Amino acid sequence: MYQRPNGYESGLEQLFKQGSQSSLDLFNTLALTAFRHQYDHNPVYQNWCNLRKVNPSLVQSIDAIPFLPISVYKTQTVACFKVCENEVFLSSQTTGEHPSRHYIYELEWYHRQVKRCFEFALGDLNQFNWIALLPHYMERTGSSLISMCRELMRQCGQNGDDFFMKADPDFKHRFEQLQKSSKITLVLGVRFAFMEWINAFDFGSEVILIETGGMKNRGKDLSRQAFINLLQDKTRASAIYSEYGMTELFSQCYAKNREPFKCPPSMRVLVRSESNPNLRYSTSKSGAMDIIDLANIDTCSFIATEDVAELYPDGTFEILCRLDHSGTR
């Protein structure tokens, strides 16, 4: 029967308890534990390491760990456990394209991680009420974002169904109900939803907005900074956050207003050369983004993404574009 490494989740929890002062030694220890576990139990990742001629017994630092191309999630089963009737998160897709498939060993593991990441960025979850504007995601199945929002709503004492397709009378009524509470109202939505509704609806000043990126071919995308500027000009929100996450990751990053994204203690961003993937940097540099997500212990914690990022000396980052330069995320 599949088992995670002994003490792994307690180590993950310890990282979050330490917060911004979390130990790099502990992170590195858990990363090496994840590498060895995934090499032993994930055939797809083991094959990738073997193709790279990596001897796992010689891997003593993060620098020596191979990162799996994110595209592999579209074509192969990336899992440390035998996939049977497991739930799966699916990415959005264009016509003729296969979606990424992230198989879930334990949904509660993901939900615990979602809560840890959120509270690391915004504080106690119980101080908020949630409402979500996610029309594109509500039109398909297997969305990790829908699962994340529904769980956070539930933990705030809501029924987990405060999702809306558009700013109609039902949305307005529910929003006004939540505003009467002593809690802070938090509105999470995709960019194109905010673009459609900021001119038609006044969110008021006692609200926090969280944008999750993405225009989904429904209009010209803007850089994150430009979009934050637009929201600040058009709304009276007390704060605007951006959330960075993806189907292939169990951790999420948040950025407040115009600040860069800050990784949760379970995650670290590196950048690699676009022309030479073997060149990887952990200090101030721009390049294709590699992510270590310790919460991905059941699948693969080392992901070579197709995003280009600017990495700052303190480990924060900003997304610049896609590798094909097709626009910002």
The segments of the chain whose pLDDT lies below 50 read 325-329
Rounded CA separation 215/79 (Å): 30
Other beta carbons within 10 Å of 122: 18
What is the pLDDT at residue 206? 84
What is the pLDDT at residue 328? 36
Other beta carbons within 10 Å of 238: 14
* Cβ–Cβ under 8 Å, residues 131 and 164: yes
**Could you state, in order of their start, the residue ranges of all structural domains in the chain?**
108-256
3-state SS, residue 200: coil
* Cβ–Cβ under 8 Å, residues 282 and 299: no
User: Which of 233, 270, 277 lies closest to 61 in space, CA to CA?
Assistant: 270
What is the pLDDT at residue 327? 39
Q: pLDDT tens across 293-313, in order?
A: 999 999 999 999 999 999 999
Report residue 279 CA to chain centroid gap.
24
3-state SS of 208-249?
A: EEEECCCCCCCCCCCCHHHHHHHHHHHCCCCEEEEEECCCCC
The CATH number, out of the four listed (3.40.50, 3.30.70, 1.10.3470, 2.60.40), of the domain defined by the range 108-256: 3.40.50
Is the full-model pTM beyond 0.85? yes
* Cβ–Cβ under 8 Å, residues 280 and 295: no
- Percentage of residues in the chain with pLDDT exceeding 70? 92
